[in-house]
Amino acid sequence: GCPLLLHYLLYRKAAAPTSGSFLLLGPSGAGKTALFTLLESKSSRLEKSTKPTHISQTSSSTTINLSPTIPIASNRYRSINDPSLSEASKIPVTYHLRDTPGHGKLRELQGISQLRAMLHPKKSKSGMRGVIFVVDAASLSEQNEALRDAASYLHDVLLILQKRALNNGKPSSKIAAEVAVLVAANKQDLFTALPPGSVRDKLELEIDRIRKSRGKGLMDSSVNPGGSDEEDILGGDDGHGMFSFKSLAGEVGVQVDVIGGAVKSDKEADVGAGVRRWEEWLGMCL
Ligand code: GDP
């Protein structure tokens, strides 16, 4: 039918390698460096070239080949009868991945400024597609410091993405939805790790608390004019609504997915298998 033909014409060009950029963020000790290293080494194993893998100590930005078995979003619309499909699947799809150097709070601050820089339309080389926010799912089991840290960092990230989305004037438009967030609930190999559903619930609850307490702070500061009129993140804020990622997506167009995985595996043969669902998420953004 007509829509199929239209899709074919629109996405025919998708045979060319698709590329976008992703930024790794998250609290200290979550597994960002481990994930970056794993994806980089998986990628270089894919490259059958003889050139030695260049491992840079200073740069933490790299181009990675997506495994050919991972589907990409631009393939979704293509007919199975599309003769170019088999050809296209031979062309490696690459993406840029950036980690932020440093430790602890310093790294967080650098991560936030890196995010701002990558969202800047003139500064980003290839389109910013997503943030991979890594959390240690084993450290979030109690309502503790680690949970508060992770939630407030994620809150700040979401606020930046919301501002960008709303400044475009078209909430839930394609432009606004472009930068998605993956909360990678890492360390699922540990029996103490919370399953991704609980990680999501805990983060939503904690973000809701943060939002309420900051909102209260803002009201107090309104006693002296000139105080900030800064807005907080939306998402379920209909007066008494709880914050949720789902309503944030609906109201603002910023999509947050919480997916479990493990960078480390106790079985040598499984190396890299624990990150497959994250790679699938990456593919869906490309
Ligand atoms: P970063 O501060 O976010 O860069 O965290 P790192 O990548 O340095 O990882 C922190 C610690 O967690 C290291 O000791 C890693 O070996 C460990 N780690 C990372 N991923 C996993 C995982 O999936 N399972 C387990 N058990 N440990 C992990």
Q: Is the CB of 138 under 6 A from ligand 1?
A: no
**What per-residue confidence (pLDDT) applies to 69?**
82
Measured in Å, residue 281 CA sits from the centre of ligand 1 at 20
pLDDT-derived band at 158, boundaries 50, 70, 90 = very high
pLDDT digits (tens, 9 = 90+) for 23-63: 999 999 999 999 999 998 888 877 655 454 455 444 588 88
**What per-residue confidence (pLDDT) applies to 46?**
73
Please tell me the class of the 18-31+105-285 domain: alpha beta
ipTM of the complex: 0.99
Q: What percent of the chain has pLDDT over 70?
A: 66
Q: What is the mean pLDDT of residues 215-224?
A: 56
32 vs 178, residue with greater confidence: 32
Measured in Å, residue 186 CA sits from the centre of ligand 1 at 8
Q: What percent of the chain has pLDDT over 90?
A: 39
**What per-residue confidence (pLDDT) applies to 136?**
96
Q: Is the CB of 30 under 6 A from ligand 1?
A: yes
Q: Is the CB of 190 under 6 A from ligand 1?
A: yes
- Give the separation between CA 164 and CA 273, rounded to whole angstroms: 34
Q: What is the mean pLDDT of residues 225-239?
A: 59
Measured in Å, residue 27 CA sits from the centre of ligand 1 at 11
Q: Is the CB of 31 under 6 A from ligand 1?
A: yes
Measured in Å, residue 210 CA sits from the centre of ligand 1 at 27
List the residue whose alpha carbon is closest to atom 2 of ligand 1: 29
Where do the structural domains in the chain lie, given as residue ranges?
18-31+105-285
Q: Of the ranges 80-84, 106-110, 116-120, 133-137, which one carries the lowest mean pLDDT score?
A: 80-84
Each residue of 174-202: b (16+ CB within 10 Å) or e?
eebbbbbbbbbbbbbbeeebbebebbbeb
Q: What is the mean pLDDT of residues 57-73?
A: 78
pLDDT digits (tens, 9 = 90+) for 252-271: 889 999 999 999 876 655 66
- Nearest to residue 248, comparing CAs of 170, 174, 177, 167? 177
pLDDT digits (tens, 9 = 90+) for 179-188: 999 999 999 9
pLDDT of 277 strictly over 80: yes
**Beta carbons of 233 and 158 less than 8 angstroms apart:** yes
**What per-residue confidence (pLDDT) applies to 227?**
41
Q: Is the CB of 128 under 6 A from ligand 1?
A: no
**What per-residue confidence (pLDDT) applies to 178?**
77
Give the N- to C-terminal CA distance of the chain in Å, as an integer. Answer: 26
Q: What is the mean pLDDT of residues 170-193?
A: 78
Measured in Å, residue 191 CA sits from the centre of ligand 1 at 15
- Nearest to residue 128, comparing CAs of 283, 19, 21, 279? 21
Cα–Cα separations (whole angstroms), residue 84 to 81, 90, 170: 9, 10, 35
**Beta carbons of 110 and 24 less than 8 angstroms apart:** no
Q: Is the CB of 186 under 6 A from ligand 1?
A: yes
